Structure 1
Amino acid sequence: MSRAALVVIDVQESFRQRPIWAYASNPDIVGAVDRLVAAARDRGDLVVWVLHAEPGSGGVFDPANGHVRLIDGLAPAAGEPTLVKTSHNAFTTTNLQQVLTLAGIRDVTVCGIRTEQCVETTARVGCDLGYEMTFVTDATVTFPTPHRDLPETATLAEILADPRTLATDEMIARTEYALAGRFATVRTVAEVTGAVPAGARG
């Protein structure tokens, strides 16, 4: 019997080690993901956990530094795979497609960090691979995003002070516009868990 899958992307300690975490769009990401995971398990859906690693980088995504692990409060249950990726999307550098194929899954829900980067990119690639994708915006996190012309050496204070910096609510809105009707169905945690009917907001 075909099941659906929930793919939890990069909800890892690495991000909490960065000063910009104080400006995260959704600091209660663990609570939102926990609700999605509980509902998926109740339905008998597969839950797949994905972590991002940059081996040898020396930064917060270098596994040697101990931050490439789920944020406290989240843990895989028995039989739930944990995949480690080195690309932005969760497919290219993992066997996620094989995992989904072997489980007979065609419907995939994604959540995690960051809204417009790894989660959105996974939704786009998943759609191109033929999956029915659902994007749960309020179970994602993004951060104030600097303009492309701001030097990479810019400090957090400079990023926040720059009028060209994209605010988190703007990034979320742009991501939803880009995905909806093209790559994914955009839903809320309440809609996915059945707390409110699909299409109802609030």
Structure 2
Amino acid sequence: MTQRALIVIDVQESFRVRPLWRLIDNPDIADDVNRLVDHARGNGDLVVWVLHQEPGSGDVFDPASGHVRYLDGLRAPEDGEPEIRKTSHNAFTTTNLQQVLTEHGVGELAVCGIRTEQCCETTARLGSDLGYQVTFVVDATATNPIAHPDAPADITPEELVADPRTLPAAAVVERTVFALAHRFATIATVDEVVGADASKPAPQPAPEPVS
């Protein structure tokens, strides 16, 4: 049975159609994720595809908008690869992800997607708490600068960049790495994952389902 899974989180057009996309730190994320997908498939690992949706919201995450679909250029899911839709930040709480992983005997996860500090980080944290061995593939994630908590909710990308209180995307990534490393996940690059040799330790057995 498969013991490893690549979790592809929210690599979807909903983000690209927002004005904030022009500030994204990794506009070529589809290429990075595709390398991980090809590697996972070549190893016989499970690939799980996750999309975020907010039905009835009227925004770009509302399925009615037509934007809750995979980012153009991203590999298409193959037959047998689970496709999951979530409504929470992490990929576990509002889905059957843990059940899917348990059914496939998965004990080790690699996490990638959008956004670094939000859906990807929360999924890594919860996955670790559930007993999975987690690898956070940091350069196969993407995020954008974050506005100061006191900034207006409708701040434009131009205003965001001009505000000296804005947290730059590089700082967001750095803080995410500091928070996850040695606590919730192993931090790795795409090159490190794809180039991992055969001496890699065997994956941990799948955790028991939470009753």
Question: Would you say same fold, with TM above 0.5?
Answer: yes
Whole-angstrom distance in 1 between the partners of 2:71 and 2:2? 30
Residues 2, 46 of structure 1: alpha-carbon distance in 2 compared, 3 angstrom cutoff: closer
Residue of structure 2 in register with 1:72 after alignment: 72
Counterpart in the other structure of 1:33: 33
Q: Which residue of 2 aligns with 1:88?
A: 89
Structure 1 equivalent of residue 162 of structure 2: 161
CA distance in 2, matches of 1:116, 1:43: 28
Mapping of 1:90-109 within 5 angstroms?
90-109=91-110
Separation in structure 1 between the aligned mates of residue 12 and residue 2 of structure 2, nearest angstrom: 29
Q: For residue 209 of structure 2, what is the aligned residue in structure 1?
A: none
For 2:145, the equivalent position in structure 1 comes to: 144
2:174 is equivalent to residue 176 of structure 1: no
Q: Does the 8 Å contact 1:145/1:167 carry over to 2?
A: yes
TM-superposed deviation, 1:177:
0.4
Identical-residue share of aligned pairs (%) = 64
What residue is the counterpart of 2:207 in the other structure? none
Structure 2 CA distance for aligned equivalents of residues 69 and 105 of structure 1? 26
1:84-109 deviation line (CA, Å, top 9, x unaligned): 00000000001000000010101000
- CA distance, structure 1, for counterparts of residue 65 and residue 111 of structure 2: 27
Instruction: Give 1:156 shift.
Output: 2.1
Q: Which residue of 2 aligns with 1:129?
A: 130
In structure 2, the partner of 1:62 is: 62
Kindly tell me the number of residue pairs found equivalent between the two proteins.
198
CA 176–45 in structure 1, closer or farther in 2 if over 3 Å, else same: same
Q: Is the 8 A contact 1:112 1:141 kept in 2?
A: yes
Q: CA deviation at 1:158?
A: 1.5
Q: Which segment is superposed worse, 167-176 or 148-157?
A: 148-157
Answer whether contact 2:6 2:109 (CA < 8 A) is retained.
Answer: yes
Cα gap change, 1:159/1:30 in structure 2, threshold over 3 Å: closer, same or farther?
Answer: same
Report the secondary structure of 2:178's partner residue. Answer: helix
Instruction: Output the TM-score relative to the length of structure 2.
Output: 0.91
Is the 1:11–1:113 Cα contact (8 Å) retained in structure 2? Answer: yes
Moved over 3 A (4+): 195-198
Contact 2:2 2:46 in 1 (8 A): no
Deviation, structure 1 residue 197: 10
In the aligned structure 2, how far is the partner of 1:175 from the partner of 1:126?
A: 16
1:73 deviates by 2.0
Q: TM-score, normalised by structure 1?
A: 0.95
